[in-house]
Amino acid sequence: MAAGDEDALVCDFAQTYHILDWRALPLALAATLAAGLPEGSRSKQRLLGLKAPLETLLLAQIADRLAVWLWWHTLDGKAGRRPPAPVAPKLVEDRDRKEKGPAIRVFGSKEEFLAVYQAAVN
């Protein structure tokens, strides 16, 4: 969390736990407290790639679906012209997975893992 946005983590620790210097804590305690931050905290939003709180994203998705439903009942909607522009995707960071690769990679065996690891190290 600290690598992504340390300022957000500092604000979250100050707001949630009233701790101004999280680096003064033992590492295990800081990690436990960071994992226990509420879902709406700045750090968790950053990890999820959200630019707005989850509630706002859900409301935007509701608004997008309502706009599409209403559009279907117009002449443009029946002809398939000029659909409404969605709002929700603008509230989520655009992460190109092709550049970064998958977040989690599963290996079938220890040998397969070691082969990929050695290729990455060399």
Give average pLDDT by consecutive 10-residue segment, the chain, 122 residues: 78 94 91 90 85 89 95 91 91 64 71 87 80
Q: What pLDDT, on a 0 to 100 scale, did the predictor assign at position 98? A: 46
Could you tell me if 81 and 65 lie in one domain? yes
Asked if residue 40 is part of any domain, the answer here is yes
| Residues belonging to the chain | 122
pLDDT at site 116: 87
Asked whether residue 117 is domain-assigned, the answer is no
Are 63 and 87 part of one and the same domain?
A: yes
Q: Give pLDDT, residue 95.
A: 59
- Asked if 43 and 63 sit in the same domain, the reply is no
| pLDDT at res. 101 | 55
Residue 75, in any domain of the structure? yes
Asked whether residue 33 falls in the same domain as residue 11, the answer is: yes
The pLDDT score that the predictor gives to residue 47 is 83
Same-domain status, 13 and 35:
yes
- Token pair of 11 as six digits: 């604000």
Q: Is residue 35 part of a domain?
A: yes
Sequence-separated (6 or more) residues with CB below 8 Å from residue 26: none
Helix or strand run (H / E) with residue 98: helix 97-100
**How far, rounded to the nearest angstrom, does the alpha carbon of residue 73 sit from its chain's CA centroid?**
34
Domain limits at 37? 6-48
> Is residue 121 assigned to a domain?
no
Instruction: Indicate whether 60 and 44 sit together in one domain.
Output: no
Token pair listed for 84: 């409404």
Residues 6+ apart with CB under 8 A from 66: none
- pTM of the predicted model, to two decimals? 0.56
Please report the pLDDT score of residue 3 as a whole number. Answer: 64
pLDDT of residue 17: 95
